[in-house]
Structure 1
Amino acid sequence: MSLIVMKFGGSSVGTAERIKKVAERIIASKEQGNRCVVVVSAMGDTTDELIDLSNQLTDHPPAREMDMLLTTGEQISIALLAMAIQSFGHEAVSYTGWQAGMITEPVHAKARITDIRPDRVLASLDQGKIVIVAGFQGISGDGEITTLGRGGSDTTAVAMAAAIHADYCEIYTDVDGVYSTDPRIVKCARKLDQISYDEMLELANLGAAVLHPRAVEYAKHYDVQLVVRSSFNHNEGTQVKEEAEVEHGIVVKGIALDKNVARISILEVEDTPGILAKVFTSLAKEGINVDIIVQSGTLNGKADFSFTVSSADVGKALQVIENIRPEVSYREVTSEAGLAKVSIVGAGMVSNPGVAAKMFEVISGQNVNIQMVSTSDIKVSCVVAADRANDVIIALHSAYGLDTSEQAFVGGPKERR
């Protein structure tokens, strides 16, 4: 008998009929002798609809009240799922994040879990019940309802699996595993039987939407084995674990795409110690995440440097740079949107020279200009024009031998977490 955490995203529980299907799947696992804890997101577009409602009332809704509002979405789905399971003759109980013992830091909209006290969850399991837990939410030490931000339900599931020492954590989504790239772009994408935490973390950070980076980090830290599989079929999924077997001849494991990229360039900056520290510390204080950074050579004591941020952060970043102008001397700041980051990932890259050169050749062969480059032991990222990114992905996928003869399975609308 195994102890399993099962996580279902918004499209998996998007309608009453889908909730019934999820209930049947959970019951089937229970009848196989498993003890089941289920983490659920809000139904379908519920979160977006709640955000739209708030925007009809105010342009600047208070973060505390937004958390109070958005957490109702998960409360609807957990209650309905518990009802569905009970209607099939099985015992189930639903818990909000705080009832399930999810303790977070006192931050709204993007809180991190600081502790889990799963006493009620474990007690209900001991009573033979299926436990349904609301994802995406918790409570701070001072009693405030909080949300975990994007990917919060994935993080809830992995954190709960770690806290109750589950045998594994199943993440159900709209595809039947982790693919070598987005199967909506490359129809012949390869489904991976296994992938390492490090490879999955790189892919998640680089734009692959199947798992959130915070959930993968948590799984790696607490050695929680993940299985990514589809809500819409019973195919074997992808195991995410510490060491994955290397498939013969496959050096690049996956290709990720992030179209939410913009570049900011600061021209003719005084090349003196501490300038870069001042710029990037100021950006960090405003919660702006900087990705690729490139600095040119120095000429007459001045240098140019460029960096990428998410498209949504461009305006805020430009304002930060303007605010520090009295302390940082520069001639001009420019920004460029319409960019994308294409990345290849694979643990085998570190011992195989020429992988990056091949990537550059393939992109050049598509007559696409590479605007920025970033590398690590297991990944290479190139910034290119967003309107050509899909062409680049398709060409790279073929060049690295990742195409298959079968069409990838995509079971429904893009999963919401």
Structure 2
Amino acid sequence: MRVVAKFGGTSLGSGDRINRAADSIAAAVEDGHEITVVASAMGATTDKLLEEITFDVDDADRAQIVSMGERTSVRMLKAALSARGVDARFFEPGSDDWPVITDEHGEVDVETTRERAREIASNLDLEVAVVTGFLAQAHDGSITTLGRGGSDTTAVMLGNYMDADEVVIVTDVEGVMTGDPNVVEGARNVGEISVDELRNLSFRGAEVVAPSALSYKDSNLDVRVVHYQHGDLLSGGTSIEGEFRNLVDMREKPLACLTVAGRAIRNQPGVFQSLSAALGNNDVNIDAVASGMDTITFYVDADEAEFAENILHREVVEQDALSSVTVDEPLAVVRVTGGDLPNRPGIISEIVSPLAEARIDIHDVITSATSVALFVDWDDREDTLETTQELL
């Protein structure tokens, strides 16, 4: 099996942890697996280097300085593997065979990087490749970086381009947890999670796998997260399933928009819970929710509009904080989902502006970390779908 194993800074934070990492790599090699290692800077080295830059420095010099953490890590790991009788070679920017190349815009040059990654992969039966994470190199030889979480990106990208069977992210957490174990009691490991779920969690604060890395995962590449104390690269942790697709999807059935108004609803604890519970207890499925200072809007099947309106009206009558409920139907929803949406400044404008030019009235826009939902008149659904499909 061909495996790319990424060791985070905490995993390499001391000599003992480097020994533990080398032991797990050597064991996998002994079992006949082809291993590429992606190494982050030891501990908080990169942050410490950045803190010491108290003078004016250009981007090129800054990249050279921060690269020293990863450059040290690959040398340490290579030496530890050699001490165990494992043939290994480290790769860093400036090496003749360095794989990760960026173009003039700082974006990964896919064709060149894939070609170089495959060249390294062709020798994995002879040696372990130990690659600096986070770093890249422009065509002119200057050092660039892949941004925050760049070592994760390096690992999954190389896993993809090397036709690896699996990428293992070795970190300081027991895979993906049901909650932050430092905050909630009884947090436990999640055995499996989808790419879509994890990307949304990552963009909302879960520091497990960098969101940028997951855009390189496809259905043929397994990705797993394990704790550095686990000691086995090939088992345990959390498996990340599926792949993140760029798509435009339209709901086939029409929706009704039910808006409940009330003074300063947002500041009234329990109002949202009581309204959504009332619908749920009566088996009314909520497709989406939007809120303002004085309103809460529920989108439900148009077929259930009258039933849902009566349910919400009872809540309005019973609660002094609420004043009225109104219904607008039929509406359509078109959702734009894309792995690179969060990394594209102005993406909402890119989506909405063509619809405005087409004279399509947008009733509502609801965004999540990785998708944009557009609510329009039912009669405008086909034009909205066609216009937004041209974006991806």
Question: TM-score under structure 1 normalisation?
Answer: 0.56
Q: Answer with 72-81 or 180-189: which moved more.
A: 180-189
When residues 142 and 210 of structure 1 are mapped into structure 2, their CA distance, relative to the original with a 3 A threshold, is same
**Which amino acid in 1 is paired with 2:285?**
P
- In 2 relative to 1, CA 195–82 (structure 1 residues): closer, same or farther, beyond 3 Å? same
* 1:69 equivalent in structure 2: 65
Q: Is the 8 A contact 1:41 1:77 kept in 2?
A: yes
Unaligned 5+ residue runs, structure 1? 245-348, 361-372, 381-417
The residue type equivalent to 1:353 in the other structure is N
Determine the structure 2 residue equivalent to 1:207: 205
String of CA shifts for 1:50-79, please: whole Å, max 9, x gaps. Answer: 112212xx1x32111000111111010000
Match of 1:88 among 84, 89, 92: 84
Aligned to 1:237: 237
Q: Distance in 2 between matches of 1:377 and 1:73?
A: 31
- Structure 2's unaligned 5+ residue stretches are 245-279, 290-295, 297-364, 373-392
2:166·2:223 contact (CA, 8 Å) conserved in 1?
Answer: yes
1:195 counterpart SS class: strand
Equivalent position of 1:261 in the other structure: none
2:35 aligns with 36
Q: Which has the higher contact order (CA 8 A, sep 6+)?
A: 1
Residues 338-349 of structure 1: pairs in structure 2 closer than 5 A: none
- Counterpart of 1:132 (choices 119, 125, 130) is 130
Secondary structure class of the residue paired with 1:219: coil
User: How big is the shift at 1:180?
Assistant: 2.1
Structure-to-structure mapping, 1:13-412, within 5 angstroms: 13-55=12-54, 58=55, 60-97=56-93, 99=95, 100-106=98-104, 111-115=106-110, 116=113, 117-118=116-117, 120-126=119-125, 128-220=126-218, 223-233=220-230, 234=232, 236-242=236-242, 353=285, 376=368
Give aligned pairs, total: 253
**Residues 357-388 of structure 1, C-alpha deviation per residue, up to 9 Å, x if partnerless?**
8xx9xxxxxxxxxxxx96559999xxxxxxxx
Against the structure 1 CA distance between its residues 227 and 21, is the aligned structure 2 distance closer, same or farther, given a 3 Å change threshold?
same
How far the C-alpha of 1:112 sits from its partner, in A, is: 3.3
Larger radius of gyration: 2
1:366 matched residue in structure 2: none
| Deviations 1:301-348, CA, capped at 9 Å, x for gaps | xxxxxxxxxxxxxxxxxxxxxxxxxxxxxxxxxxxxxxxxxxxxxxxx
Distance in 2, matches of 1:352 and 1:74, equals 53
- How far 1:132 moved relative to its partner? 0.5
Q: Which runs of 4+ in 1 moved over 4 A?
A: 354-357, 373-380
Cα deviation for residue 181 of structure 1 reads 2.3
- CA-CA distance at 1:140 after TM superposition: 1.0
- Measured after TM superposition, the shift of residue 189 of structure 1 is 1.8
- The answer as to whether partners of 2:203 and 2:369 remain within 8 angstroms in 1 is no
Does the Cα contact within 8 Å between 1:91 and 1:130 map onto a contact in 2?
A: yes
Contact kept? 2:175, 2:238, Cα under 8 Å: yes
Give the secondary-structure state (helix, strand or coil) at the position aligned to 1:5: strand
